[in-house]
Structure 1
Amino acid sequence: MLIWQAHKARVRHIAFDPGGAELATTAGGSKFVSLWHAATGAPAGRLAGHTSYARAVAYSPDGRFVVSTQNEPAARVWDRATGTVAGVLSVDWGADSAAFRADSQGVAVVTRQGVGVWRCADFAGAHPALPPAARFATHRALQRVLYSPCGRYLIANSYHWLRLFDADGRDELGALDDPHGSAAATQLAFAPDGNTLAVVFGLRVHLFAVPDGAEKRVFRGHTNYIHALGFMPDGRALVSAGADGVVRVWDAATGTQTRSFDWGIGKVCAAAVSPDGTLCAAGSENGQVIVWDVD
């Protein structure tokens, strides 16, 4: 286990690079994306250029790019090798979520006018800001967007609106709602094979079959808001973390909790699983980051 004081304010988002050797974090009112060596917690650099505080961050599956959003109408894509801006994405306002396609050829960002999609081949440096190559679900403000690892699907949601699309956004394939009430959807995660979607409704984690939307099972155990959700790479386990300060590991086939971790860092605001499944990382309300071996 490794723990360090990464920030002075709450960690907003945390992500592993595809090799699992590097972490990216955003926090508090910082305008930077901070980079860390996952094995040591030592700084690995930072991505600077936002004009407001940074929000979401994600690596492209091929490791070439990092996308980050901010609390103003522009997201940035960075060339990870050089740390320079590869492209500026013109969005209508600050966005809380961005995701790369499984083939690393495109990136999607949620906005107040739906989902915008950009082609990575169009990136032209810091200027000019690029409009999206495509836009869909334009009738509402959205909170999250996520591509399936298999490359076939995209999911987008606002609090009480959750829709599954094909990866190009041309066809809406289905809608999902809370099967046991009217709670808002707040977190999303695809299983590695793309055939299962995990959704947080309130204090519950639900698994749905993709694309038909049939409910498979429900996980219960958290006592406060769930802020992070992710599958292990083999798809057999699911990790969730939240404001109760506990990171929980679930058997995806049975819905039973198999392990839990309370590192005494207070409310967990963000969490991630390394692509090879050997490490987990979490960020706390007080700015600490913790990395531990799953085994």
Structure 2
Amino acid sequence: MLVMKAGAAKVRLDELTFSPDGTGLFAPALSAGLCHWPAYKAGANSDVLVLPAKVVKRLAFTPDGRTLYAGSDQLCAFDLGSRTGTVAAIPKWAALWFGVSPDGRRLVVAETPQGAEGTRLTLWATDALDAPVREVTSTSLVYSALQFPASDRFLLLEGTLLPDRRWEYRRVTRSAETGEVLERSDPLPDDPDQMVLSPDGLTVACRTRNVLRIYPSSGGWGTVPKVANDGKQHFTGVAYHPSGRVLAATSNDKTVKFYDPASGQLSRSFTWDIGRMRSVCFSPDGLLAAAGSDTGKVVVWDADV
């Protein structure tokens, strides 16, 4: 186990990801740009990469690892080889979620423009960011990063305000070519604020405060595995191991826990003395796990799954 630090001051590591080849670790650094750990050494400070996007909260790699999409109110494609970025032609002050298809051809962006109610979905060719190839609008709001079970479709966690002022949340499958709805699930029993897709594409894990539920990624559901956190502390981040055998979750109780996604049973628990844990991820080969905290520290250890 080793502990590293963000090179930017006062950064809470709400998102953390390995590069597709596993040789680097990255985290958004808000107005400072992007934290990059090119090697895993105890006590190492990250490099800080300055990006054209003014604020970086979210990240998405292309499958080949050459380009990293990053942003929040703006979105840029950052070439890691040349260390240069291109800003997509998206209006400023739009809250963005985005994702890249497994074949690397399509970038899908979900945005809620300032002052608007609803979501604008734009579909882009990854080699042309001057204008989207298609645009679709929806009255729902998007609450989590886009997930791609295949290159021709993606999943969203969408919330809709009902006439009685209650919010209703559904898993929605859309076409990556047109953005049109292919499937809309029955309402979820709660109001999750994160959804992650399993490596085999068959299930999604949804995080709601101190509960995790694991749903099928398509069709209906019968008995849904449920994980309740010890005590009342909230889960803060969720990630599947590449094998699909483990679901990892960070929590405000300063722990990282490993669960069996089939049964929801706790298999291992780790306590790292680096603050409240905010994010977790696995290296693509599954050998390493990493978790970020609210103090700007990140711990890397052998996953041993």
Classify the TM-score, shorter chain: 0.7 to 0.9
Separation in 1, partners of 2:149, 2:45? 29
- Which residue pairs with 2:278 in the alignment? 269
How far has the Cα of 1:173 moved from its partner? 0.7
How far has the Cα of 1:266 moved from its partner? 1.9
- Which residue pairs with 1:69 in the alignment? 71
Cα 1:94/1:33, change in 2 over 3 Å: farther
Structure with larger Rg = 2
Q: Which amino acid aligns with 1:200?
A: R
Residue 142 of structure 2 is aligned to residue 142 of structure 1 = yes
How far has the Cα of 1:137 moved from its partner? 4.8
Separation in 1, partners of 2:96, 2:51? 17
How far has the Cα of 1:94 moved from its partner? 4.1
Separation in 1, partners of 2:45, 2:4? 11
Separation in 1, partners of 2:246, 2:284? 13
Most deviating of 111-120 and 284-293: 111-120
The one of 121, 128, 138 aligned to 1:122: 128
Separation in 1, partners of 2:58, 2:155? 16
Separation in 2, partners of 1:77, 1:235? 29
Cα 1:176/1:80, change in 2 over 3 Å: farther
The one of 174, 181, 187 aligned to 1:177: 187
| Sequence identity (%) | 24
Most deviating of 207-216 and 149-158: 149-158
Q: What is the number of residues matched between the two proteins? A: 283
Residue 69 of structure 2 is aligned to residue 39 of structure 1 = no
Which runs of structure 2 are paired with 1:32-111 in the superposition (5 Å)?
32-40=33-41, 42=44, 45-50=47-52, 52-70=54-72, 72=73, 74-91=74-91, 93-95=93-95, 97-111=97-111
- Which residue pairs with 2:28 in the alignment? 26
CA contact (8 A) 1:230 1:240 kept: yes
CA contact (8 A) 2:192 2:208 kept: yes
Q: Which has the higher strand share?
A: 1
CA contact (8 A) 2:52 2:85 kept: no
CA contact (8 A) 2:53 2:76 kept: no
Q: Which amino acid aligns with 1:67?
A: Y
Separation in 2, partners of 1:243, 1:136? 37
Separation in 2, partners of 1:276, 1:288? 23
Separation in 1, partners of 2:233, 2:192? 15
- Which residue pairs with 1:127 in the alignment? none
Unaligned runs of 5+ in 2: 113-118, 160-167
CA contact (8 A) 1:98 1:110 kept: yes
Give the superposed CA RMSD: 2.3
What secondary structure does 2:127 align onto? helix
How far has the Cα of 1:96 moved from its partner? 5.0
Residue 199 of structure 2 is aligned to residue 192 of structure 1 = yes
- Which residue pairs with 2:218 in the alignment? 211
Separation in 2, partners of 1:31, 1:135? 31
- Which residue pairs with 1:288 in the alignment? 297
What secondary structure does 1:13 align onto? coil
Cα 1:22/1:94, change in 2 over 3 Å: farther
Separation in 2, partners of 1:150, 1:292? 30
How far has the Cα of 1:59 moved from its partner? 1.4
Most deviating of 98-107 and 149-158: 149-158
Separation in 1, partners of 2:68, 2:155? 20
Q: Which runs of 4+ in 1 moved over 4 A?
A: 41-45
Separation in 2, partners of 1:279, 1:22? 12
Most deviating of 252-261 and 134-143: 134-143
- Which residue pairs with 1:126 in the alignment? none
Q: Which amino acid aligns with 1:81?
A: G
TM-score (norm: length of structure 1): 0.86
CA contact (8 A) 2:253 2:276 kept: yes
Separation in 2, partners of 1:145, 1:5? 25
How far has the Cα of 1:258 moved from its partner? 0.3
